[in-house]
Structure formats: structure tokens, C-alpha cells
Amino acid sequence: MALVAAGGLLGFSTSASAASDYGYPSISYTGVSNPPTSDKPQSKLWFNGGSWWADMWTSGTGWQIYRLDVPTKTWVSTGVTNDTRASTLADTLWDGTHLYIASHVVTVSSDTSPKASVSGQPAKLYRYSFSGGKFSLDSGFPTTIMNNSSESMTIDRDTTGAIWATWTQVSGNSTSGFTNTVYVNKSAPDGTSWGSPFVIPVSNPHPAPDDISAVVAYGSNKIGVMWSDQLTGSVRWATRTDGTSPTATSSWKVQDAVKGNKLADDHLNLKSLQSDNSGRVFAAIKTSLNDTSTNKSLPELLLLVFKPGTGSFSQSTIATIGDCVSRPQIILDTQNNLVHAFHTAPGTGVSGCAYSGIPGAIYEKTASMDNPVFASGRGTPVIQDGSSANMNDVTTTKQSVDSSTGLVVLASNNATKRYWFSYRALGGGTPPPPAAPAASFTASPTSGTAPLNVAFTDTSTGSPTSWAWAFGDGGTSTTQNPSHSYSTAGTYTATLTATNAGGSTSASKTITVTTGTTPPPASGITAGASTTASNPTATTTVTLPKPSGTAAGDVLVASFTADQNPTTSAVPAGWTAIVNNLSISTGARMFAYYKVVGSADPASYSWTLSTAVKWGGGVTAYRGVNNTTPLDSGVATATNTTYTATSITAPSITTASNNAMLIGGVGFDSSSPAATPPSGWTERWEAPDSQIAEQADQVQATAGASGTATWTFTAKAVSVWRTALKPA
């Protein structure tokens, strides 16, 4: 799959006619009430121990801690589950010693549809220690922050070790009216217990039902709480000094960060510049100017910078009404002195929009932290699903970033129910060495009579820089894709060692060389032509072409992999299921069928799926198969849903006939082809993109147990099936 560089970020196009993908697709999700990368001020990511981590929803399990495996661009579950409530969202904080996750039940309120917070719904604080590359929940946790649902909640830690939390809480009903109030709570050191929640002790802590708040620790000893107040057209900012009474009015100083008609909305995000002794605070906010003005040059997103030395805010425009952007997030690159702003806007193929906030793609803009002037336009696309323009709710980390961390942002496509993310290294330092490549290769042919000329093709992943081949007969090569001639009959093991700065790995295949001409086995099965097809755009129809040269009496074996777990609602005439609805993960499913070709078969065959999804598949024709009982054995399957598997082994089957044709294939919850069939098997096809399926075969000369068969690949979620065809 071709990679396209865009502003230093990776994007790839699934087809010539489709929009480009930017970033990387990750795990799918189901069963969670809200988009799992929301809400706007919250941070779902953190960096420690040389890795990026995230709080992500796992279907059927709950919120779990995941680690980003950078070489494979894969989020890997650690198996550590915190909250199992599907109605929650969370804010995360890594303070250098502990991980804190504040999880709260969500009630979303708006001005047009206000909803009261629900009591008896505790917000919980989970605290984890980190050792040996693993997180473990500390004794006595979770603790309870408060006992009501809220639209949002954020946390930070002050210099006394207390954890601070803020949220807005709506009370009332449609008869008496609704009141929204900014609440705060403060814990004992390190979150071990909490006091009683209290209303922030400032004048007019009652914004509109739609408004939310956020908290940030800044400078050497300060806590700041910011909230939107659409009733007064202001974004308000209240600060206090660590160690003063949290509930005393005299401890808090309140001011307007910005104020004016329609300058407030309910989108804000705070970051603190920890390395700046003056304690600057950066806030990205969305205005409501698009609701009252058609002037496309007015600001839609603003960057506010608080300078404690002057006690005032400066402001600069991130994007305008004409850019149709929403849901801002910011992250500070202290090494390169840049503020990175991320936001939602329509996809790259859309110039305008029906309204700001419409899902589409995630864009990035940067500016100097000292003089934050952003270029015009939406910015550089960093996350986009080319086949489903529904990306939204970008999230990142509270921490500053530099060349030692790189930069990661996470978003979700709530139409396809899949996470996506962007990752890249940052300049200014020596990057860590790459991971060792995963060696793999193909050989063609793998058997024949001497002299046998074999072409070897490197298919290694992980960017090897050198290749060392040992052909098993004393011959060697250091070219990437060599050819080698075997002059003497025998069984040889060809080995490739692929190397880069991170190390080396090896892979091997068996080459069988015979003398003279070996006649085909009596009543033997031979493989004919194959075809593949795929559709990177969601559709309910899977159409696979008939292989060329197919004749009546041939047996076709078809398999395909479909995204998002559909079922087949209609199967073409004459096809019999080998495996039907074999789940790969919560995000993909595979299917396999066979058919005896008739005298007037169509040029292609179509299956109907229960929902519109992306898919990939293929068909192979076999000749010499028993038309009455095409299958010679039972069917065996296996599945690995961890997204970290690099191989899968199909169980042994038992054939009833000599010279049966073993057949099988794998399907991935992935759009990146990578399968290598078992040793001695011939790969007939591998679907080129969308959701990957692959098929291979091998003749078994003597009836009986076949033994297991192992496919290898780069890390993915995978399922495998196998059976055997019966000779005529």
C-alpha cells in the first residue's frame, strides 16, 4: 500500500478514486455510549517509560490501558481494565510517579435540550503504579470524587500532592428551569480520599446548561479553573495558590479570559507549560460567532495565552468561520517552541460545510509559543478515513512533547466504530533506534526438477537495510531479491536474515528438488487460475470474478473478509459454506465457500451482506475434484483477537483419500497485506487492500492426519480456516 507524505505525516490511499487515508486505523469498538475519544477538555493519552499509552474502550470488557507499539503502529492492550461502565468517559494524568484516571458517568446537556445531572452515579479516581513496564492498581483505589453524572470532568495535581477535579452540574427540571453550576473538589495527597464537592467560590458560577469547565496546574504553585459561560459571552478564569483554603472566596481570583458577544462556546482545552518558570497557560477555545455572522474571516477557534507576570490573556486566531472547524485540542512542543493545534473539519475533498462541527477529518496547525500566529486555512490533515468522512473528537496528552516522545493524537470514527491515530517523531534530537525488521520472503517455485531456478522476493517489514541469503546448498547472496539455481536433487532450507539499525531476524522456506520428471499422482487435483477483488468503499455486495479457463466440473473455492462483522443475507446459487461468519475480532469477519462449476456459470458471483462494509477476497479453481463429495475432511479453524499475533496455527485435519488437496486461508482485521503461508504450501492469492483475505494449498500424498499448519504475518487480529478437497 503506497504511503503518501503530507506535511511530514503519513497518509495512504486505498484506491485511486477514494479519498486519502491519513494516520493509522486502530481497534474497533462497540457497546460504549459516547464516542470514546471525547469529551473536549479531556486527555486520553500519556507518555512514560519510553512508550505512549492510552485509555481505550475494549468491546465486551470496558476501559483498558493500551500501549502504542510504534514499529507496527498498533495499540496493544495491557489487559489492565479500569471502569467497565459503558456510560463513562475519563481524563488521564501521568505525574511522573503515578497514573490517575478520573472516570465519570456522562449526561450531555444542551441549551435546546437541557438535562439534569443524575445522582447516585459516582465519578471514580483510579491510581496506578508503574514498574517493569506494567501498570498495577494501587491498594484502596478507586476512590470516589463525587456522586453525580456530568458532561465532562478533568483533573490535575498541585504541588501539595492534592488531585483537583472540576465539572459542571445541571440541576432543575423543565417546569422550574435548569441551573448549571461549576463544581470543584480536592483530594488528600495522591488521591487517597476526597472532601465534599463545592461550588467554586467566585461571583456568578452559573453558566448555561451547555457549558463545561477544565482545571490545570501551572507555574510553581497555582491551580486554575476555566469554564465557558455562554450566558455572558465570556470564558472565565479563576486561580488560587496552593495551600490556601480551597473553599474561601478570598483564596480565588476570577477574571474573564475573553468576553464579547458570541465569544464563548462549550469547547475548550487547557495545557500548562511546565518548563516555563513564569507559568504560562495555553487554552484553545471555540467561539459561537458562526451562529450570528456570515463573515467567514471572523475567528472560530482562538488560542488564549495567560501570562502570570501581567495577569492577563493574549489571543490569536487558530482558524476562522470559513474553515468550518470545531473541537480544538492543543499540545506543547517545548523543544521546538511550538504549540500544535488539532481540530475537526470536513474531509480533504470538501471545501465548505453545512455547519461547523460536522465530522470529517482531523487537521493540525502550528505556531510559535512566543508569538502564536497561525497560517490561514484548516491546516494539515493528520487523521482521515478515506472511505468514511466521519472522524471527530481528537484527544491527546496533558504533557509537553519533544524529540524523546514524538507526538501522538487519537480520534474516533463513530460511524464505523473505529479508533484512528496519528504518530510521528519530532526533530531536534537523536531518535531511538528502529525496531528490528520482521524477515519474510516468497520463493517461486518451491519444488521441481533439477536444475531448478528459484526466484526469491523479500517481503520483510520494518524497513531492513541489508539482506543475507543462504540457499541451503552452499550458495549465498546479499541482494534484496536474488535468483538461485539448484543443480542437484535434494531438500534445501533457504534462509533470509534481514537487518537494520535495530537488529536482525530470519525466516526460512523449504525448497524440494527432484530428478527427472515426476508424473502427477493418479486422480490428482491441480490448481487452476485465481482471481481477487476488493472494495475500499462500504457496500453490501461482495462480487468475485470467475477465474479464467474454468470449465464445467471444476470446483471453485472462494473466501473473503468483511469489515465490522456483517452476516451474509444472500449466497449465490450453488455455493456451499466451508466457514460462515467466522469472527476475526469485533471489527471483522471471514467467510469461505465452494462450488461445483456448471455448464453455464456466470462470469462472477455475488454475496449480499447484512450491512455496508469494506471487504476483500478471491477465488481459486481446482480440477480433478470429486463433484459429488468435494470435501475430503472436516473443517478446522482458529482465531487470535489480540492484534499482537504474528502467527496463527490451524489445527490438524484428517484426510480420507490419498492425494487430497489441503486448502486453507487467513483473514485479518487489517487493510495491510502480510500473510506468508505454511512451509510447503503454495499461496494462490492475497486480496490487495480493504480487509485482507488469503488462500493457499498443498497436496497430501497419503491419507491421514495432516499435522498443523502455521501462517505468519505482521501483528494483527486474525482467523484461519482449513479443510481438504477430495480427488475424483
**Cis, bond preceding 445 (omega within 30 deg of 0):** yes
Maximum pairwise Cα distance, the chain: 99
Going by the DSSP 8-state scheme, the letter that residue 465 receives in this structure is S
3-class DSSP state for residue 440?
Answer: coil
Please state the rounded mean pLDDT for residues 115-132.
Answer: 94
Estimate to the nearest angstrom the gap between the alpha carbon of 280 and the chain centroid.
Answer: 33
Please state the rounded mean pLDDT for residues 402-417.
Answer: 94
Residue pair 109/209 in contact (Cβ under 8 Å)? The answer is yes
pLDDT band with cut points at 50, 70 and 90 for residue 518 = very low
453, pLDDT greater than 90:
no
In the β-sheet with 51-58, what is the strand arrangement from edge to edge?
A: 45-48, 51-58, 62-69, 74-81
Q: How many CA atoms lie within 13 A of 622 on its CB side?
A: 31
Neighbours of 440 (CB within 10 A): 22
689, pLDDT greater than 80:
no
- The pairing of beta strand 447-449 with beta strand 490-500: unpaired
**Cis, bond preceding 39 (omega within 30 deg of 0):** yes
Per residue in 456-487, is it b (16+ CB within 10 Å) or e — as a string? Answer: bebbbbbebeebebbbbbeeebeebebebebe
Going by the DSSP 8-state scheme, the letter that residue 250 receives in this structure is G
| Of 276-280, 537-541, 559-563, the least confident | 276-280
Residue 1 burial by CB count (10 A; 0-12/13-18/19+): exposed, middle or buried? Answer: exposed
3-class DSSP state for residue 552?
Answer: coil
3-class DSSP state for residue 290?
Answer: helix
Q: What average pLDDT is seen over the chain? A: 88
pLDDT band with cut points at 50, 70 and 90 for residue 13 = very low
Closest CA to 677 of 655, 700, 698: 698
The percent of residues in the chain predicted with pLDDT above 70, rounded, is 93
pLDDT in tens, 146-189: 999 999 999 999 999 999 999 999 999 988 899 999 999 999 99
Closest CA to 557 of 711, 724, 720: 724
3-class DSSP state for residue 450?
Answer: coil
Sign of the C-alpha dihedral computed for residues 333, 405, 422 and 163 taken in this order: negative
| Torsion (CA) 396, 400, 401, 404 in degrees, nearest 10 | -130
Please state the rounded mean pLDDT for residues 451-467.
Answer: 83
Q: What's at 36, amino acid-wise?
A: P
Please state the rounded mean pLDDT for residues 649-671.
Answer: 92
CA distance 155 to 93: 7
CA distance 527 to 116: 67
646, pLDDT greater than 90:
no
pLDDT in tens, 521-559: 445 899 999 988 888 888 999 999 999 889 999 999 999
34, pLDDT greater than 60:
yes
| Of 303-307, 395-399, 422-426, 643-647, the least confident | 643-647
> Would you state the pLDDT for residue 485?
85
Q: Cell match 495577569: residue?
A: 311
In the β-sheet with 154-157, what is the strand arrangement from edge to edge?
A: 154-157, 162-173, 177-189, 198-199
pLDDT band with cut points at 50, 70 and 90 for residue 10 = very low
| Of 4-18, 512-526, 563-577, 583-597, the least confident | 4-18
Closest CA to 27 of 463, 597, 564: 564
Please state the rounded mean pLDDT for residues 259-271.
Answer: 80
431, pLDDT greater than 90:
no
Going by the DSSP 8-state scheme, the letter that residue 251 receives in this structure is G
- The pairing of beta strand 503-514 with beta strand 447-449: parallel
pLDDT in tens, 193-242: 999 999 999 999 999 999 999 999 998 899 999 999 999 999 999 999 99
pLDDT band with cut points at 50, 70 and 90 for residue 479 = confident
pLDDT band with cut points at 50, 70 and 90 for residue 428 = low
pLDDT in tens, 79-111: 999 999 999 999 999 999 999 999 999 999 888
Residue pair 272/218 in contact (Cβ under 8 Å)? The answer is yes
Q: Choose between 305 and 463: higher pLDDT.
A: 305
pLDDT band with cut points at 50, 70 and 90 for residue 338 = very high
Please state the rounded mean pLDDT for residues 286-312.
Answer: 89
| Of 77-86, 469-478, 511-520, 649-658, the least confident | 511-520
Residue pair 446/512 in contact (Cβ under 8 Å)? The answer is yes
> Would you state the pLDDT for residue 516?
61
Q: Choose between 13 and 123: higher pLDDT.
A: 123
Please state the rounded mean pLDDT for residues 258-269.
Answer: 82
